[in-house]
Structure 1
Amino acid sequence: MTKRTVRLRNYLAYGANDYLGAGAMAVISTWILFFYTTYCGLSPGEATLIFAIARVLDAITSPLIGHLSDNFYRNRLGRRFGRRRFFLLISIPLSFSFSLMWVGGQHFLYYLCTYVFFEVVYALELIPYETLAAEMSDDYKVRAKFAGSRILFGQSSAILATFLPALLEMFGSKDSAETFFWLGLTFAISFMIIISLVWSFTWERSPEEIDALHDATERPSAVESFKRLYRDLWSTLRIRAFRLHLGMYLGGYISQDIFNAVFTYFVVFALGGATLGSAIASTSGLLTLMYIAQFISVMTFIPLCLRWAPAPSYRVAVSLYVLALFVLLGLYVMHPANPTPWIVVVVLIAGLGRGGLNYIPWSVYNYMADVDEIVTGRRREGTFAGVMTFVRKTAQAIAVLAVGYILQASGFVSGSTTQSTPVLHTIVAIMIGGTLLVLAVGFLISLRFRLDKNTHEVLMGEIARFKRTDAAPVPADRREVVEDLSGWRYEQLWGRNPVGRHD
């Protein structure tokens, strides 16, 4: 890799992109189900059907974009603008589509089309972007700083996503969809500006470097390209470190998706004021506090991961989140006269845990292509980014889908300012039980995860040895490290396995 100095402006530009990545997801996971069922006349089932349809289409688009990103260097546009950064460029005007999702009073087909279109734009930009940390540097600490910058900006955008509705209601119409339209428009314009900055201050491997790793003259047929696309997609799951990483990632993120989807209903119907507007303001205030705590938490977990390694740090984050959930359960059981101070404490503790759960998986992700390289002898950052984006959006959709249908089955009444006691019990059961179950899975998986600064150093050393075709005997401890990370015997590495072969 050609060495270039990574400066502060590069860290900031790279990190700023998570205003789209995390910001859009924060707005969607926190408000979209509530918006659809309150201001758009959709039932919970209709609203969640939109997410289900989008995920079916995403099963095709996300892997396809990742595959295209990996192979786009083969044509003139890719060699001129970059196989990654070309997609950033065309995403700048398309990201305005986010604002179209938040127009109230439309029909089901309108919301389906606008949601699906933005999901495609989101994948078109985010998948190539997610490869850039590995493209810009192979240094462990530099990549950790890239991940830290990204998550800090993402937490900032999440604060804005929760605080902005309350702020807009102070100056706009109460109890109307107008608040959410201005929320969507504000974020859409921000996305366009930020993607422009990312495009201006990032880089990727040169076409010559990519040619050295791949056969630039290879021109597979359309049928072969499609077969290879899905073969590559599933082959990522044959990398042991990536499978464990996905388990930790989903444990951290699905738990938050479940909590976010239900928390708004909990505040609105159990703690809300006389109007929807005041309830939205209450929710915004509590979630804003939580995301502020998450921001502080990320700054704490960046050095903690470098000192302790990712897996132990992950377990600390899970423990904090679990503590907050048990306190929340105690409040529901005891029904204190004034629960607000306690709920503030709960969201602050939860935020400290959630910040770590947000940072650690994306920090670890930056090293997955290195583990893959020692198995395949190729660089497939785009493929892994496609899998990550597909998994992330699918997990979020499943969580929201499940919440919607469970609420509907419990007797939830769309558009009502009050709900029955069974519905409130259901909300709490989902928020506590569902979140705890997913966190437990992530915690158990983290006990088997071994990638850290030291093992990554061994990994990069062995990759360099393979590139030199060094036939010297390999110490047993180094063999053990790369076999544990890759899930393959040492003799099968560097393309001597079904994953590394094209045929």
Structure 2
Amino acid sequence: MPTAPSRPVRWYNLLAYGSNDVLGAGSMAVISTWILIFYTSFCGLSAAQATIIFGVARVLDAFTSPLIGHVSDNIGRSWLGRKFGRRRIFILAAIPLLPSFAIMWVAGQSFWYYLVTYVLFEMVYALEIIPYETLASEMATDYKTKAKFAGARILCGQCSAIAAAFLPAWLIAYLGPDSPDTYLYMGVIFSGLFMGAAGLLYAFSWERQRPPELAEAEARDKPTLGAAFAALYRNLFSTLRIRAFRLHLGMYLGGYISQDIYNAAFTYFVIFALAGSTAIVGQLVGVTYIVQLVAVVLAINFALRLSPAAAYRFAALSFGIGVVIFLAMYAAGYTATSALFWLPVVFAGLGRGALNYIPWATYNYMADVDEIVTGRRREGAFAGVMTFVRKMSQALAVILVGQVMQASGFVSKATTQSPTAIAAIVGVLGLGTIAMLVFGVLVSTRFRLTPRTHAILLDEIERFRGGERQPADESHARVVEDLSGWSYDRLWGNNPVAEPGRP
């Protein structure tokens, strides 16, 4: 089934892995930028009804995403898992279901139609993306190769985000600003891209060969369905007992929720506060994503040579400056047609690109920190938590924007809005974005995973595997204790995190 961990990683493996973020980042970019305006302008839904759709999807996701992560960790003992891979079988199964993205964008349907189609795509997304997020750790062990996987992922994701911005603008220019078919055609095109990317991922990826003793233990340990469900959330919540992962989640939430709030409010900000149009939105967002692509390249080098946390702080500062300039120009009375609006776009894009890359680069090392605590590899559990948190954060951002707009008197399908509604949109974009950036920066000051500390971590893991129970020296002990959050004598399974019967 899986191949040896020493298998060389070629350029086409990196490209195939990265291309799958056309689904990960591309779908999220399309949804966060266009779904609210589509629901409220072409489907007749109120902002409150749109937020109900996201809320229901998140409740269901609280069950499905962790379940997929748990199953992918344990399906390796079955015939299907041995034949197709415990991760890759999910990717294969998701390919024919990915056109569910297109049917979300059919205008003129009922509230229930949009609820069901959105929930369906979210489940298919989780089915594919959670196993995908484990593959970098499966295919590589060293810091630099994992960073390359993260870089390939984010670079391809940024390219798909550029398409998510410009494609609607091109379709609007061809079909007209009032045609709902713009969004349907966009959904069809992206569905095709999703299927092609998932096929490449399956063809050019592999999984790490587990040690024989672990495979034998899994073969003996066949829990009942009830026991599996009992272990599910216990194992998932136990990931939060890993200090580096808690800090990583804080940085992730700060960087991504700030962007989700910005994305959800930006379309309304340009159209109603700056007297712009959806075509201008597409152009501004598209240029932002192009700048983000450049920023990812810079962030890859910065994070590899220095500290991911330091790169994160520079990125947050740049994004924040862009937001402040936008607000200052709005206060000064500029409109969206002003050439000066490219200045905040550049600042915001540079910051957002790095904020996209850094959390996913550090995520690839979380299973290593967990291994020194538990003595196990639980990539699936971490992927389940990450996907759930990602979709929950996006939904909360959209819900926040929608509810504030509804409370401020926003009117669906109206070409103009009241001063109160516009002030609410401006306030959410400014205060909401900056508040989350500040939160992420504060968390980053405590995050100390670097190339040097990761090398020490791997060295100590090998010592534990070899039967050693004392650190190479005191500095190594301090490093792994800081990353794990546990004292050295409690590592390698000597703690409640590793005990299946305890939370």
Name the counterpart of 2:37: 34
| AA in 1 matched with 2:133 | E
Equivalent residues in 2 for 1:52-451, closer than 5 Å:
52-206=55-209, 211-212=214-215, 214-272=217-275, 279-336=277-334, 340-451=338-449
TM-score (norm 1): 0.97
Name the counterpart of 1:497: 495
Deviations 1:90-128 (A, max 9, x none): 111000110000000000010000000000000000000
Whole-angstrom CA distance in 2 between matches of 1:338 and 1:502: 57
Query: Is the contact between residue 137 and residue 146 of structure 2 (CA under 8 Å) also seen in structure 1?
Result: yes
Provide the alpha-carbon RMSD of the alignment. Answer: 1.3
Whole-angstrom CA distance in 2 between matches of 1:261 and 1:109: 22
Mind listing any 5+ residue stretches in structure 2 that lack a counterpart? none
Whole-angstrom CA distance in 2 between matches of 1:293 and 1:214: 49
Query: Is the contact between residue 275 and residue 336 of structure 2 (CA under 8 Å) also seen in structure 1?
Result: no
| AA in 2 matched with 1:8 | W
* CA-CA distance at 1:171 after TM superposition: 2.2
| AA in 2 matched with 1:44 | A
Whole-angstrom CA distance in 2 between matches of 1:118 and 1:195: 15
The 3-state SS of whatever aligns with 1:223 is helix
Structure-2 change in CA distance of 1:435 and 1:212 (3 Å): same
The 3-state SS of whatever aligns with 1:464 is helix
Structure-2 change in CA distance of 1:396 and 1:142 (3 Å): same
* CA-CA distance at 1:214 after TM superposition: 4.8
Mind listing any 5+ residue stretches in structure 1 that lack a counterpart? 274-278
| AA in 1 matched with 2:35 | I
| AA in 1 matched with 2:169 | A
The 3-state SS of whatever aligns with 2:218 is coil
Name the counterpart of 1:487: 485
Structure-2 change in CA distance of 1:480 and 1:123 (3 Å): same
* CA-CA distance at 1:336 after TM superposition: 3.9
Structure-2 change in CA distance of 1:337 and 1:56 (3 Å): closer
Deviations 1:382-441 (A, max 9, x none): 000000000000011011001101000001000001001111111111000110100000
* CA-CA distance at 1:70 after TM superposition: 0.4
Whole-angstrom CA distance in 2 between matches of 1:81 and 1:395: 32
Query: Is the contact between residue 17 and residue 150 of structure 1 (CA under 8 Å) also seen in structure 2?
Result: yes
Point out the more displaced range, 350-359 or 330-339: 330-339
* CA-CA distance at 1:379 after TM superposition: 0.3
* CA-CA distance at 1:326 after TM superposition: 1.4
Structure-2 change in CA distance of 1:213 and 1:234 (3 Å): farther
Structure-2 change in CA distance of 1:386 and 1:283 (3 Å): same
Whole-angstrom CA distance in 1 between matches of 2:274 and 2:439: 31
| AA in 1 matched with 2:458 | M
Query: Is the contact between residue 294 and residue 350 of structure 2 (CA under 8 Å) also seen in structure 1?
Result: yes
Query: Is the contact between residue 147 and residue 363 of structure 1 (CA under 8 Å) also seen in structure 2?
Result: yes
Query: Is the contact between residue 165 and residue 282 of structure 2 (CA under 8 Å) also seen in structure 1?
Result: yes
Query: Is the contact between residue 331 and residue 339 of structure 1 (CA under 8 Å) also seen in structure 2?
Result: no
* CA-CA distance at 1:338 after TM superposition: 7.7
Structure-2 change in CA distance of 1:479 and 1:47 (3 Å): same
* CA-CA distance at 1:170 after TM superposition: 2.4
Query: Is the contact between residue 274 and residue 336 of structure 2 (CA under 8 Å) also seen in structure 1?
Result: no
* CA-CA distance at 1:72 after TM superposition: 0.8
Whole-angstrom CA distance in 2 between matches of 1:323 and 1:427: 18
Name the counterpart of 1:276: none
* CA-CA distance at 1:269 after TM superposition: 1.4
Query: Is the contact between residue 5 and residue 138 of structure 2 (CA under 8 Å) also seen in structure 1?
Result: no
